[in-house]
Every structure is written in structure tokens, then in C-alpha cells.
Amino acid sequence: MKALLKTSFALPGQQTKYTGKVREVITLNNNTLVMIATDRLSAFDVVMPKGIPYKGQILNQIATQMLNATADIVPNWLQATPDPMVSVGKMCTPFKVEMVIRGYLSGHAAREYKAGKRELCGVVMPEGMIENDRFPTPIITPATKADEGHDEDISREEIIRQGIVDEAEYIQLESYTRALFERGSALAADKGLILVDTKYEFGKTAEGEIVLIDEIHTPDSSRYFYADGYKERQAQGEPQKQLSKEFVRQWLISNGFQGLEGQEVPIMSEAYIEEVSQRYIELFENITGKKFEKADNSDLETRIEKNILSYLQDNSAR
């Protein structure tokens, strides 16, 4: 199985190209962004040496469906998806924070809680919780958006004090975050899932409008539990059955890697890469309720370039 790790083509009118952990973002001279979801896999803010076949297609198609399903409550950047791994939309200036919202004590929050901390990003977490318990009210725990290295937890007060986001705009980001999480939770419940936690990123258009950018409600940006049996597993102190890339993080931890200085990334075998690919397909089908249809990946870069060029040509002719 083939995986796309990077692209090397240049598009007409291309001004800049930004390579993130997973996505490549190309800026065109008409205030258009072309975002390519590669098959790269990132965990603990480190990009793994090998890609996961179909992962980019899965993330892009979930994100597209979720952006369309929330466009009535929060405006977003998306305009078109000319290829299964590509989204095209409005150029925005990103806010330098990720809006993380948690409905349950899981993942990073649970690890901090086990270490004895009862406050995360300035938000107090109740005593007496066990891992995967539901918070009385979802908590927002922002993180700074790092260009390189690790994102870092930060409080609302510190964001405003440092002038990273002004107070009025931050209040709007919080309002959008809660509305999106409520909609995402309802969409998940409809599929027999629980949206545990997720992150949202926002930007501002040239006209000054705050819009939702990047991906939402994907297994890379979100954690899901199966609703069936959640209460029983919780009562018995059993791990929850979940849909997220947490299984990759746990595999890395069991192989001695948590992204810390001096640690070497363990090598994933071809068999394990195929297993991860199948898990992502399972995630897609459960989250969207649709059968996953594998796109032709015999020559990914050529296919992607051809589809983008065709879209740009058609769009310029209108």
C-alpha cells in the first residue's frame, strides 16, 4: 500500500507553501488556500518516519463532512474538495491558539490528573474523578499553536494578558467552541459514539470575519468512545473502547517513546502500518456512517496535482 509523505509540485499563482506535521498548505495569489492532507502520522508532536495509507483521504473526507454539518452555526474557510485528499478555501490569518475542549477526563487531562494536578489551563477539575469520567460541564483548555515542537497549555487569562487574542475575540472563540462541541456531540450520539474531547482552530479573513479553519471532529483532532457499554465499563474500572489515534500513542508509549528528548521513534512494521490503516478506515465508517471507498493511490502526487489544476482552471473560467 502506498502513502503520500510530501508533494513537490508548484501551482499556478503559488506564493507560499507551509508544511505542517500532517498537512501542506499552499497559498495562491487570489487569497485562496489549497490544503493537502498527506498520509503522515504525528504523535506527541513528532512526525513518524512512515506514512499510513489512506489516512489523508480519511481525515480530509471526515473534516469536509463535519465542516458542512456545522456551517450553519459557525462560518468556516472551506470552498471545495477537488481531490479526496485536498480542500480549497479562503485564506485566513490563524489565531495562535488551539481551542481544546474536553467533555471527559481522558488523554492529557487524565495524565495530569493522575500526577496530582487539579487545575488545567486555569480550569479547576473536581476531586474524586477517575479516568474517562464525564466532567459536570465541558472544560476549555487552550494550547499555544507552535510552529515547531510541542504545543503548550495556556490559560484564558494568560492568552488575554499576553495579547495573543484580545478579550472580545477570545470570548467569541469560546462561544464558537462550545457550540461546535455541542453539535459534534449530537452528531456522534447519532452514530452511537461519545465525543470525548477535540480541538478547534480559528482564523480571521481579510474582511475581519472569524471563521473555523483546518479539520474538525477527525480521529487526529478528536477522541471518541463507543456509547454502548460506556457506563458499565466505567463502573467496573475498565478501559473505554475508543475511536481515536490514542491507540497509536499507547503503542508508542509501550515501545518507550513519548516524544521526550533523547527518545528514539520506534520503527513500525509493515504489518502494524496496515493495522493502523485499517483502524483509520474503521474510524471513518463509524464517525461518518458511510462505507469508505479507497481512492486510487497508485500515483498519488500526480492524481492530486491533476485534480487541483482541473479545479483551478474551471474556477478561473467562471
230's CB contacts (< 8 A; 6+ apart) are: 194, 240
105's CB contacts (< 8 A; 6+ apart) are: 113, 125, 129, 130, 131, 132, 133, 134, 135
Measure the CA–CA gap between 229 and 231, rounded to whole angstroms.
Answer: 6
Indicate where the chain has its CATH 3.30.200.20 domain(s).
14-93+249-316
| Cell digits of residue 225 | 468512545
User: Which of the four CATH numbers 3.40.720.10, 3.40.50.170, 1.10.3720.10, 3.30.470.20 does domain 94-243 have?
Assistant: 3.30.470.20
For the stretch 103-121, pLDDT in tens is: 999 989 999 999 999 999 9
Q: What is the pLDDT of residue 300?
A: 96
Indicate where the chain has its CATH 3.30.470.20 domain(s).
94-243
Q: What is the pLDDT of residue 120?
A: 97
For the stretch 137-167, pLDDT in tens is: 999 999 997 655 567 999 999 999 999 999 9
Within a 13 Å sphere around the CA of 32, how many CA atoms are in the beta-carbon half? 19
| Cell digits of residue 151 | 504545543
User: For the chain, how many residues are written?
Assistant: 318
For the stretch 184-220, pLDDT in tens is: 999 999 999 999 999 999 999 989 999 999 899 998 8
100's CB contacts (< 8 A; 6+ apart) are: 121, 140, 141, 142, 143, 197, 198, 199
Q: Max Cα separation, the chain?
A: 62
CATH 3.30.200.20 at 14-93+249-316, yes or no: yes
| Cell digits of residue 192 | 452511537
Q: What is the pLDDT of residue 146?
A: 64
